């Protein structure tokens, strides 16, 4: 199958204050020291790689004390130029949302395409949602995770804001506490995904099997390496290094894989996608291609 890249716009936040000082997922161990210099070097490689592939990366200023702010995917969800603010489940991370909202308010006109009218800059969330950690945006529907962080009420809020169908999927394995560590969007327009079935309840596994019979299926070793926490532009998949079986399968499915090592950030349970918030301008079906 012929795959096509589309130029993306990302918001990222350097891990200048990154640390593991509390544990809210099984990857986090406060007894294991983090090497912040190494985290920054790995993260910088990711930013440079995105830019080398033609993607736009904007940066959010990190805030002292907000040690998980590098995981920018959690800070907001942008669909068709509409922003749903985040409301974090844990008090440790709640402070991040206002900095994301302020960034989006300040830059909103920059990603409103000419001729489109964006009425609300940032919709304040009523229910707990951890942004793109639990929302996967595809052309005709949004997949939304619940079970550990984001609530089902938030799925409805995003459905209403985006005017999209939302499919709720139940996460059941605490290691895969966010949707974006259990499932990756490979081609948002053609609706092609990869996922690790046992991360989902039996009913949600049946839903995924019915909707995406041609999905790439990850193995447990892939998932444990956070292999599904990748970012795809439709052709190039920026994928956590080491997820060997998944990388092979992606190649077979027509993608070019670019392995990136974010092992220092994995100490907090996050990798490539967690660090990457995508800003999707209106209209979503954007014909621009980078290759
Ligand atoms: N330590 C962070 C947390 O538990 C990691 C977040 C990773 N982000 C993601 N989109 N999965 O919230």
Listing DSSP states for the chain in one string gives --------EEEE---TT----S-SSTT--TTS---HHHHHHHHHHHHHHHHHTT-EEEEPPP-TT-TTTT-GGGGEEEETTEEEEPB-SSHHHHTHHHHHHHHHHHHGGGGSPTT-----S-BPPSS-B-GGGTEEE-SSEEEEEESSSS-HHHHHHHHHHHT-EEEEEEB--GGG-SGGGTEEEEETTTTEEEE-GGGB-HHHHHHHHHH-TTPEEPPHHHHHTTTT--EE-SSEEEEETT-HHHHHHHHHTTPEEEEE--TTGGGGT--TGGG-EE--PSSS-------
Pocket test for ligand 1, best of 268, 272, 273, 276 (most atoms within 8 A of CB): 268
Residue 264 has pLDDT above 70, yes or no: yes
Quote the pLDDT of residue 113. 57
Could you tell me the two tokens for 283?
């209209």
- Does residue 274 carry a catalytic annotation? yes
How many angstroms separate the alpha carbon of residue 216 from the centre of ligand 1? 23
The CA distance from 101 to 106, in Å, is: 9
| Residues 272-290, mean pLDDT to the nearest whole number | 75
The answer for residues whose C-beta is within 8 angstroms of residue 152's C-beta and 6 or more apart is: 146, 168
Band of the pLDDT at 106, cuts 50, 70, 90?
A: confident
The CA distance from 119 to 109, in Å, is: 11
Residue nearest to atom 1 of ligand 1 (CA): 268
The CA distance from 132 to 164, in Å, is: 15
Could you tell me the two tokens for 125?
């969330």
How many angstroms separate the alpha carbon of residue 268 from the centre of ligand 1? 7
Pocket of ligand 1 (CB under 6 A): 24-25, 28, 68, 71, 73-74, 93, 133, 178, 180-181, 268-270, 274
Taking the domains of the chain in order of start, what are their residue ranges? Answer: 9-278
Quote the pLDDT of residue 108. 76
Q: Which ligand 1 atom is nearest residue 24's CA?
A: 4
Residue 286 has pLDDT above 50, yes or no: no
For 235-245, the pLDDT digits (tens) are: 999 999 999 99
Residue 285 has pLDDT above 60, yes or no: no
The CA distance from 194 to 163, in Å, is: 25
**Residue whose entry in the numeric block shows the structure tokens 């830059």:** 107
Quote the pLDDT of residue 81. 87
How many angstroms separate the alpha carbon of residue 129 from the centre of ligand 1? 12
Residue nearest to atom 7 of ligand 1 (CA): 270
CB 238 within 8 A of CB 258: yes
Quote the pLDDT of residue 120. 53
**Could you tell me the end-to-end alpha-carbon distance of the chain, in angstroms, rounded to an integer?**
15
Q: Which fold has domain 9-278?
A: 3.75.10
CB 90 within 8 A of CB 177: no
Residue 118 has pLDDT above 90, yes or no: no
> At residue 238, what are phi and psi to the nearest 5 degrees?
-85, 110
CB 66 within 8 A of CB 17: yes
Residue 63 has pLDDT above 50, yes or no: yes
Quote the pLDDT of residue 291. 44
Residue 98 has pLDDT above 80, yes or no: yes
For 129-187, the pLDDT digits (tens) are: 999 999 999 999 999 999 999 999 999 999 999 999 999 999 999 999 999 999 999 99
Quote the pLDDT of residue 287. 47
- Does residue 178 carry a catalytic annotation? yes
How many angstroms separate the alpha carbon of residue 20 from the centre of ligand 1? 11
How many angstroms separate the alpha carbon of residue 222 from the centre of ligand 1? 18
Task: State the number of CA atoms in the 13 A half-sphere of 45 facing the CB.
Answer: 19
Active-site residue (options: 192, 236, 274, 275) = 274
How many angstroms separate the alpha carbon of residue 47 from the centre of ligand 1? 18
Active-site residue (options: 108, 178, 192, 236) = 178
């Amino acid at each position: 199958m012929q795959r096509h890249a589309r130029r993306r716009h990302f918001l990222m936040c350097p891990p200048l204050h990154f640390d593991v000082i509390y544990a809210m997922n099984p990857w986090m161990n406060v007894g294991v020291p983090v090497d912040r210099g190494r985290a920054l070097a790995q993260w910088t490689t990711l930013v440079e790689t995105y830019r080398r592939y033609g993607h736009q990366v904007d940066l959010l200023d990190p805030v002292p004390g907000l040690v998980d702010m590098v995981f920018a995917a959690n800070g907001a969800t942008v669909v068709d130029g509409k922003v749903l603010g985040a409301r974090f489940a844990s008090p440790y991370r709640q402070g991040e949302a206002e900095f994301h909202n302020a960034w989006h308010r300040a830059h909103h006109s920059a990603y409103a395409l000419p001729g489109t009218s964006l009425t609300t800059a940032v919709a304040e969330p009523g229910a707990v949602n951890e942004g793109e950690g639990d929302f996967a945006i595809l052309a005709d529907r949004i997949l939304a995770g619940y079970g550990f962080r984001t609530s089902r009420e938030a799925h409805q809020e995003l459905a209403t804001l985006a005017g999209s169908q939302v499919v709720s999927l139940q996460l059941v394995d605490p290691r895969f506490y966010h949707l974006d560590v259990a499932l990756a969007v490979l081609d948002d327009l053609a609706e092609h995904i990869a996922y690790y079935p046992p991360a989902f309840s039996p009913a949600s596994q049946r839903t995924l099997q019915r909707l995406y019979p041609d999905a790439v299926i990850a193995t447990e070793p892939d998932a444990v390496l956070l292999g599904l926490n990748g970012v795809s532009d439709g052709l190039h998949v920026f994928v956590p290094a080491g997820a060997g079986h998944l990388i092979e399968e992606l190649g077979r499915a027509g993608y070019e894989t670019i392995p990136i090592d974010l092992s220092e950030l994995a100490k907090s349970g996050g990798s490539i996608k967690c660090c990457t918030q995508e800003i999707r301008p209106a209209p979503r079906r954007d014909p621009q291609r980078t290759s």
